[in-house]
Structure 1
Amino acid sequence: MCNLTLLTEGGNDAGVDGIHISEVDDGEFAVTIFQGKYKVKDLRGVANFPENGVQKAVNTVATLFDPAKKIELNDRIAPRVEEIRSLVRDGYIPTVRVVFCNNGAKWNDQAQNWIDQSGFADDQVIWIHYNHDSIVDVLQRKKTVDDSVYLQGKAVIEDFNFRRVLVGKVAVTEIAEFFNRHSDLLLERNVRRYLGLHSNRVNSAIHETLVNKEKKGNFYFLNNGITMICKKFRHNALQGENYQLKLEGMQIINGGQTCKTIQQTLYPSQKQLFDESFENVYVLLHIYELSEDDQDFVRDITYATNSQNPVDLRDLRSNDEIQKQLEIGIKDLGFTYKRKREEGGGGSSVITSSIVAESVLAIWRKRPQQAKFRRKEHFGKLYNVIFNELNAAQALLATMIFRHVENERKRPSMANPPIFLPYASHYISMLVGRKLLADKNLQLSDIDHRNFKNIHDHFESKKSDYHLK
């Protein structure tokens, strides 16, 4: 059933008939633009997608994703474009798919020239043709991948609950070659497509490990591995190790991001093998041999292997020296600092590391937009920005300011609060912090445990006035 909120067709639609914007994932978001053409008089299905339609789409992409360019748009598409531009202004990276739909053939060579001359990066803007044949192909085709994989060293192979299981290790070069041969056919049962190499934190870390001369030899220990299912696998059981496996109907259900990152690291832009040697770099491999009537079980495995509780970056940073020092310093000031996620233990005297990060980034680091919209990166890319040279008194004071402003947002004391109040907590908090420092004639570096009580008491007596101003 069609989602009408995605449709944008009408006057001043910039040649866009539909648009979909994904959620932000690790600094990146996807935008899919649809343009449709339908031949009423010629139903032979041979007419090319109009050249001028392709040219218009090229111009549209160049305009929509540049916040500096002005464009007149109808009421259907204007809010969606402003949403895109707002994300771009905040530093998020868009990946764009332009889908041309018609009841005829693909665009002609001249139209392809418009695409080639656009200058858009191939990994950021993808051009797709979709027609009646595509629909039939999706409905009818049954994709299957049959291939062989060479395992290194010993492997565990056993029958378990009427199914066969294999655990072993495989060279990353073997995985890269797999994807060179079969591409995304191996990921049809995977829960998501590739999230990118440079904009995705986890994939960037995988890449950095692979190209690091000291670390890449330990890649097997540093990566969670790959989970694969197949209809059948065969090997020479007379061998004790180094099996050559023959697999039928293979699919990767977990570890797709690892596989694609390996491929793009070893074969950048589908060029020659990366300069460094990867002969002794391995990754863990699980293979489950499942029958045709195990489809429900396949779904269970896919869900389970992709939905277990992840380790939050906050937890990974919890044992850093700065976090331990903050815990001690905040305790000396009469509060409890929680470095790790855990249940219970709330109250006004309890301060979590996540609220400290959000408050400090908005108030003292003067980045309210990143405090609000980039919470996933507070203990990642923004960690050093937030916590470097931060002491307990500064952290506590920022938290007190932000808590007060948030309370005013939730339960306004003003009779007629301004309409922007529900959206402005982080920015207002920054202004309150600025006013507090000015009133006390202090720099941020002047705040420490010696004058914390005096500054805190002053804030408590003036906080309502600060917020009102």
Structure 2
Amino acid sequence: EKKTPALVREITVIDTNFFDRTDQNLRGIVCSVAALDIVDAIKSDVDPEQVETGIFDQNVRVYLKRKNRINRRIIESALSDENHMFWYQNNGITMTCDKVELGPSRRSPKIKLTNVQIVNGGQTSNCLFEAAKEDRSRIDDVILLVRIIETSSEDVKLSIAETTNSQTPINVRDLRSNDRQQRQLEDAFADLGYHYERKAGQHADKPLAKRVDALSAGQAYLAYGIGLPETAKKDRGRVFGDLYDTVFAEDLTAVRLLTSFKLAQRLNDKKKEVRKKIREGLQLRLGEMSLIDGAFHALFAIRQICGRDDVDLWDFDLVEKCVEEAILDVSKLYHDAQEADANFSSNRYFKDARTKDLITKLVG
């Protein structure tokens, strides 16, 4: 408590856009504030070009900078021609303080905050600071939602910091679940007699054999339909992230996604058989262990075999006949790599982009 800097800051409410309430020893104000007010509030008194990190002492997260994809979007949003949407698209920030002094004016009153801390919204605040450094005039019209809680209790402050940051996170897949493309795929799968789960567990009450998980299907398509097995293995989160438009392109059909998904299921069934053999201490075929880490490369091998033999990639009944050959090809490469390298790592082998080139060469 003694180490936390006693910062005093002042912000101005936009017109009459504020709500003030009191509950026993707590006071709360919800208001709309100009983004530049927040930028100035977190500015260091010593060096105006830097952020006063002390104002985030009770925030549970440090600033993740531009390397964080969401932060890059916040900065781009603040500087864009559509930045009037910022208030509607951003969750805003939460501040705690020992004392709130609300100016007498009903229109655009000034709020003085004593011993203020930003306990939620640190990423947003820092992003606005960066955006202002790039072009302060561009964010002049950006408005932010702010919640202020006045309390002298350190326990309450810490409780607010914890609870406002511990709600169930929304992942990228959830954010995409209502996209037009996802809804269209759901309808198309229904016509094929399947339940497409654009949201995780969406059709938990339906037979498992007829459920198609969007992430798993996209991951399989990334390996089989697009030819990126190493990415499917090590970066499945990118399916609904930066590779979303690549995987779920406008020309993607439910049949293509379903074929990829069903082939992946067949390989997963084979993987389960290998694991069962391991549990029971049974002898494995040479290279059979490759399925544990290399299922997506087996998918890629199927793709290459189909290309060599001029087989329609999306005719599951025809493609399924290539599964065994694909497994044998990947197993052979796996075994040869094991023999050649005393420090062989299965995980590393299938994360290496060059492994798929070996598969292409072997299939011929």
Q: Give the TM-score band, short-chain normalised.
A: 0.7 to 0.9
Q: Higher relative CO (CA 8 A, sep ≥ 6), structure 1 or 2? A: 2
Q: Establish whether residue 148 from structure 1 lines up as the match of residue 17 from structure 2.
A: no
Q: 1:94-114: per-residue Cα shift (whole Å, max 9, x none)? A: xxxxxxxxxxxxxxxxxxxxx
- Contact 1:211–1:276 (CA<8 Å) still a contact in 2? no
Amino acid at match of 1:148: E
Report deviation, 1:327: 2.3
CA RMSD in angstroms, aligned pairs only: 2.4
CA distance in 1, matches of 2:97, 2:2: 21
Indicate the residue corresponding to 1:204 in structure 2: 72
Pick the aligned partner of 1:403 from 247, 265, 269.
265
Q: In the TM superposition, what are the counterparts of 1:48-447 in structure 2 within 5 Å?
A: 141-154=3-16, 155-181=18-44, 183-197=52-66, 199-213=67-81, 215-236=82-103, 238-268=104-134, 274=135, 276-292=137-153, 294-295=154-155, 297-342=156-201, 344=204, 345=206, 347-388=208-249, 389-412=251-274, 415-416=283-284, 418=287, 419-442=289-312, 444=313, 447=314
Q: Secondary structure at the match of 1:324?
A: helix
Q: CA deviation at 1:140?
A: 7.2
Are the counterparts in 2 of residues 428 and 467 from structure 1 also a CA contact under 8 Å?
yes
1:374 is displaced (CA, Å) by 2.4
Counterpart AA for 1:331: A
Partner SS, residue 42 of structure 2:
helix
Q: 1:324 to 1:235 in 2, by over 3 A?
A: closer
Summarize deviations over 1:365-410 as a string: whole Å, max 9, x none. 1222322332333222111110112111211111112122223333
Contact persistence 1:176–1:263 (CA under 8 A)? yes
Contact 2:71–2:123, Cα closer than 8 Å, also in 1: yes
Q: Residue type of the partner of 1:458?
A: L
Distance 1:357 1:349, change over 3 A: same
Q: Is the 8 A contact 1:361 1:367 kept in 2?
A: yes
Whole-Å separation in 2 of the counterparts to 1:315 and 1:326: 15
Specify the code of the residue in structure 2 equivalent to 1:315: D
Mark the runs of 5 or more structure 2 residues left unpaired by the alignment. Answer: 45-50, 278-282, 330-364
Residues 140 and 247 (structure 1), Cα distance of their counterparts in 2 relative to 1, 3 Å cut: closer
Q: CA 1:162–1:398 in structure 2 vs 1: closer, same or farther (change >3 Å)?
A: same
Q: Give 3-state SS (helix, strand or coil) of 2:65's partner.
A: coil
Is residue 401–residue 433 contact of structure 1 (8 Å, CA) maintained in 2?
no
Deviations 1:99-154 (CA, angstroms, capped at 9, x unpaired): xxxxxxxxxxxxxxxxxxxxxxxxxxxxxxxxxxxxxxxx9734332222222222
Shift >6 Å, 4+ stretches: none
Query: Secondary structure in 2 aligned to 1:286?
Result: strand
Report the residue type matching 2:327 in the other structure: H
Q: Using the alignment, how far apart are the partners of 1:461 and 1:376 within structure 2? A: 30
* Contact 1:163/1:289, CA 8 A, preserved across alignment: yes
Q: Distance in 2 between matches of 1:234 and 1:282?
A: 21
Deviation at 1:461, TM superposition (A): 4.4
Which structure has the highest helix share of the two?
2
Identity %: 26
| Counterpart residue number, 1:20 | none
Structure 2 vs 1, CA of residues 185 and 166 (structure 1 numbering), >3 Å: closer, same or farther?
same
Q: C-alpha offsets along residues 322-376 of structure 1, whole Å, 9 cap, x if unaligned?
A: 2233223323333221222335135122101111111111222122232233233
Cα 1:310/1:346, change in 2 over 3 Å: farther
Structure 1 residues 205 and 142 mapped into 2: Cα distance closer, same or farther (>3 Å)? closer
> Secondary structure of 2:30's partner?
strand
Q: CA deviation at 1:440?
A: 4.3
Give the distance between the partners of 1:212 and 1:312, measured in 2 at CA: 24
Whichever residue aligns with residue 26 of structure 2, its letter is R
Query: SS in structure 1 opposite 2:106?
Result: coil
AA aligned to 1:456 is: F
Q: Show the counterpart of 2:351.
A: none
- Distance (Å, rounded) in 2 between the aligned partners of 1:200 and 1:315: 18
SS of the equivalent of 1:411 reads helix
SS at match of 1:167: strand
| Structure 1 residues without counterparts, runs of 5 or longer | 1-138, 269-273, 448-454
Distance 1:250 1:307 in 2: 21
- Call closer, same or farther: CA 1:351–1:187 in 2, change over 3 Å: same
Q: 1:77-97: CA deviations, max 9, x gaps?
A: xxxxxxxxxxxxxxxxxxxxx
- Name the CA shift for 1:146/1:305 in 2 (closer, same or farther; >3 Å): same
Q: Is the 8 A contact 1:235 1:243 kept in 2?
A: yes
CA 1:218–1:324 in structure 2 vs 1: closer, same or farther (change >3 Å)?
A: closer
Offset of residue 204 of structure 1: 1.8
